[in-house]
Amino acid sequence: MFDRKRVLLVVSVVILWTLSVASVPLTATARAGGADPAPEGVVAAARDGLLEFLRAVPMNELEYFGFHDQDELSRATLGEPFRVYTMLPSEILAVAGGEPTAATIHSTTLWQFPVLCDGTSRTLLTIDDMDGIWAAVDLGGLSPAIEMRELADRWPRSQGYELEYVRVFQTGSQFISVTKDNLSHLVSLESTARSLGMLAEGEAFEYQLMDVSAVVAILAPFVWANLETTQE
C-alpha cells in the first residue's frame, strides 16, 4: 500500500525529470506501425548513423548486436522506424497515490529503427533530437519489431486502429498502445509480462488489451522501488 504523502513527495521530485515532448514536422519519408510518420531528418540521420555505428562494432562483440559474422554485418539494412512513447513516473505515482489525474501516453524525441539482416530484426538504431539536430545516438537492444508486426496484423490500420510503441524507462517495460475511436488500451509484450509478474510460472503468454489504469496499478510498485533505489 502506498503512503500518499511519500508518493506526492516523490512526484514533486520526479516532475522535474521529464522526457521532451517532441514537436516535429510531419513531412514523412517513412511510416512506422504507429500514427506518426518519421520526419525526413530522422530517416537521413538513421542512414548516416547506421554505417558509422556498424563500423565501430568490435568483431568479438558481433553476437551482442545480433550478428554472427562480418558478412552478416555488411548486409545490415534499416527497417521501418517507430516513434517511442512513454508514461511519466510522476503520473504513474500520482494515480497510485489517489490523485485525481490520469496517466497518459506522451511522445518523446526518440525514434528507433530495426536493423535487419536477411529480413530478420537483429538490433535497434536509436535516433534523437540533439539540440535541434537529428542524430543516431545508440545501437543495441532487442527489437519489438516482430511483435509489433504481429499486433498490426491483429489490429490493422485498415480497420481504424493506431498502434504506438510505449516504453516505461524506469522499469524497462514495453507495451503497444492500441487506439480506435479515441479509446486506447495497452498490450504488454511477452518479456514485460513475465518481468512484471503478470504471468504465473509456466503460464502461456497471450496478447491482451488492458485498460491503462490496470497497467498503472501493475507498474506503480516497480516505479516506486526503482526511484527509491536511485535516491539511496
Backbone CA torsion sign across 82, 159, 151, 101: positive
Q: What is the pTM of this model?
A: 0.78
Taking the C-alpha atoms of 138, 139, 141 and 146 in order, what is their torsion angle to the nearest 10 degrees? 120
Give phi and psi for 49, each to the nearest 5. Answer: -75, -30
All three cell numbers of 31: 511510416
In this prediction, residue 35 carries a pLDDT of: 54
In this prediction, residue 5 carries a pLDDT of: 35
Taking the C-alpha atoms of 209, 212, 218 and 221 in order, what is their torsion angle to the nearest 10 degrees? 160
In this prediction, residue 28 carries a pLDDT of: 28
In this prediction, residue 145 carries a pLDDT of: 81
In this prediction, residue 149 carries a pLDDT of: 86
In this prediction, residue 25 carries a pLDDT of: 26
CA-wise closest residue to 163 among 71, 18, 35 = 35
In this prediction, residue 4 carries a pLDDT of: 36
Which residue range(s) make up the domain with 206? 4-231
Report how many domains make up the chain.
1
Taking the chain (232 residues) in runs of 10, the rounded mean pLDDT of each run is 37 33 30 66 96 91 90 92 92 78 85 92 94 95 83 94 93 94 93 92 92 91 82 58
In this prediction, residue 226 carries a pLDDT of: 82
- The C-alpha atoms of residue 71 and residue 48 are separated, in whole angstroms, by 20
Contacts of 50 (CB under 8 A, 6+ apart): 76, 78, 113, 115, 125, 136, 139
In this prediction, residue 230 carries a pLDDT of: 64
CA-wise closest residue to 42 among 111, 141, 108 = 111
In this prediction, residue 101 carries a pLDDT of: 66
* Partners of residue 31 on adjacent β-strands: 37
